[in-house]
Amino acid sequence: MNKQSASADATTVLDLFTIGIGPSSSHTVGPMRAARMFMDSLGRDPRRIQCDLYGSLALTGHGHATDTAILLGLSGYRPQSVNPDEIGPIVANIREDGRLYKKGERAKGAAFFEEGDLLFHKDEFLPEHANGMRFTAWFDGDDTPISTAYYSIGGGSVLSEEEGTNDAALGHNLIPPYPFSSGAELLALGEENGLCIATMVMRNEGVWRPQEKTEAFLDRVCDAMTASIERGMKQEGFLPGGLKVRRRAKAIHTRLRSQKDTFGPAQTFEWVSLFALAVNEENAAGGRVVTAPTNGAAGVIPAVLHYYRRFVPGADREGEHCLLLTAAAIGFLYKKRASISAAEMGCQGEVGVACSMAAAGLAAALGGTNQQVENAAEIGMEHNLGLTCDPIGGLVQIPCIERNTMGAVKAINAAYLALQGDGRHIVSLDAVIETMRQTGIDMSNHYKETSLGGLAVNVVEC
């Protein structure tokens, strides 16, 4: 499967920003979607189901709730609609009865005993992608099972083994008015047509749906980001998983609100960090978040969006749309020219990409030129190059939660730094994306979402 054969033109904002559940887009949302896709493809009810997980999915699957995601997907649930508060009982019923139930219906379902039917192959990687899984179904009266492999390629996106070599399945029959596959092409299109990046992306989205529907989607994304921040600032206690990580967002929020009469410049960044912290604590708890462009980096863009909303005079909904559309354009380039999967790129492909996207989006919302926007995106990634993914215990908690606060603050810094110049700079966005890709290739698998190196092995779990 050549993932890079997919054109950036075939990716839409609906692919890049998806509303789902935590803690991981590639290890929770993607496998859940793949499991449902497999069940939908069968056309009849199976007698028994088996799922084999490989590579990074196997190594950190328990910490990333991949096992829960598989059970939910095989039962017909979708990440964007399942109620996080109902997940525990749903999974408990499957484990107690050894059967899958369609949307919780207590009718006879396919046999599924986790011990023998959900297998973690920690020493084996499928050659096509580090996040590989295979589903197999058996049927009454038929000795030949159906088996299909799927790959969770980052940001919740999933490809089957058939789609990996089928360009038509990736939407190549749709041609947008402003196609681009590089930062250079994006700048040239803007110069040629006298359009900002956000406008070109919006018009490209018109290939798939009317503008008002894209705007309604962006509104839902903004609202979901807001909801994840607000819920995160109200919760307290310890995050699940055994590390005994205490939620901090509520206490920080209370303290910052008490200091409103003595507000100083430093508190701006304390608020930004709080926004990111709240989202990623929600993500770590399996709550509802927006994949932007991944769950592990879900706090960066919401934090920057709320910085714009709260601290920029004249901020409005149009500016928020501009921020998200511009960020999406940058995200398209990373998906096309490299990857947003930590299992391939390390955390530079998650928090680094989110930082780059957020920096570009904020620069655009603040009135920056296309050249300044491209510069902001480049700065945002340049100073995240080499960032590893080494979660302790395979959980999206340490260092992931705090890392989002760093990414958000860095994105704001990158945007304002770019706006101080005229857009001319030595290192192009294309060059930094290629550097990220090469760095990801050279990076040991120990540092790519396997929990086999770095903090994951040098910090004793409590």
Q: In sequence order, which residues have a C-beta less than 8 Å from that of residue 179 and are 6 or more positions away? A: 7, 8, 9, 185, 204
φ and ψ at residue 145, rounded to 5 degrees: -80, 165
- What pLDDT does 184 receive? 98
- What pLDDT does 461 receive? 56
362 and 308 Cβ atoms separated by less than 8 Å? yes
Side chain identity at residue 225, one-letter code: M
- What pLDDT does 164 receive? 61
Side chain identity at residue 436, one-letter code: M
* Topology agreement, domain 22-163 and domain 183-207+209-447: no
Query: What does pLDDT average to over the chain?
Result: 92
- Measure the CA–CA gap between 155 and 146, rounded to whole angstroms: 27
Is the bond into 293 cis (omega within 30 degrees of 0)?
Answer: yes
Average pLDDT, integer, range 418-434: 97
Q: Is 82 helix (H, G, I), strand (E, B) or coil?
A: coil
Is the pLDDT confidence value at 422 over 80?
yes
Least confident stretch, 84-88, 135-139, 315-319: 84-88
CATH 1.10.4100 fits 183-207+209-447, yes or no: yes
Q: What is the pLDDT of residues 48-77, one digit of tens each?
A: 999 999 999 999 999 999 999 999 999 999
User: Angle formed by the axes of helices 211-232 and 300-311, to 10°?
Assistant: 90
Q: In sequence order, which residues have a C-beta less than 8 Å from that of residue 171 and are 6 or more positions away? A: 10
φ and ψ at residue 369, rounded to 5 degrees: -75, 165
What CATH homologous superfamily does 22-163 map to? D-3-phosphoglycerate dehydrogenase; domain 3 (3.30.1330.90)
- Measure the CA–CA gap between 228 and 30, rounded to whole angstroms: 20
Helical residues (DSSP H) of 233-264, grouped into ranges? 249-258
Is the pLDDT confidence value at 370 over 50?
yes
- What pLDDT does 460 receive? 67
Read off the tokens for 269: 């960044």
Q: In sequence order, which residues have a C-beta less than 8 Å from that of residue 115 and are 6 or more positions away? A: none
How sure is the predictor about 264, in pLDDT bands with cuts at 50, 70 and 90?
A: confident
Q: What is the pLDDT of residues 118-173, one digit of tens each?
A: 999 999 999 889 999 999 999 998 878 999 999 999 889 999 988 763 443 444 46
- What pLDDT does 1 receive? 43
373 and 460 Cβ atoms separated by less than 8 Å? no
Residue with tokens 């190594």: 59
- Measure the CA–CA gap between 405 and 124, rounded to whole angstroms: 34
Is the pLDDT confidence value at 272 over 90?
yes
Q: What DSSP letter does each residue of 318-384 carry, written as one string?
A: HHHHHHHHHHHHHHHHHHHHS---HHHH-GGGTHHHHHHHHHHHHHHHTT--HHHHHHHHHHHHHTT
- What pLDDT does 3 receive? 40
Q: What is the dihedral of CA 111, 116, 117, 122, to 10 degrees?
A: 170
Burial 379-398 (b: 16+ CB within 10 A, else e): bbbbbbebbbbbbbbbbbbb
Average pLDDT, integer, range 240-247: 95
Q: Is 457 helix (H, G, I), strand (E, B) or coil?
A: helix
Question: Quick one: which of 298, 278, 300 has its CA closest to 290?
Answer: 298
Read off the tokens for 398: 């340490």
Q: List the beta strands (DSSP E) in 62-131.
A: 118-121
Q: Give the residue extent of every domain in the chain.
A: 22-163, 183-207+209-447
Q: In sequence order, which residues have a C-beta less than 8 Å from that of residue 291 and are 6 or more positions away? A: 17, 18, 19, 20, 25, 29, 155, 156, 298
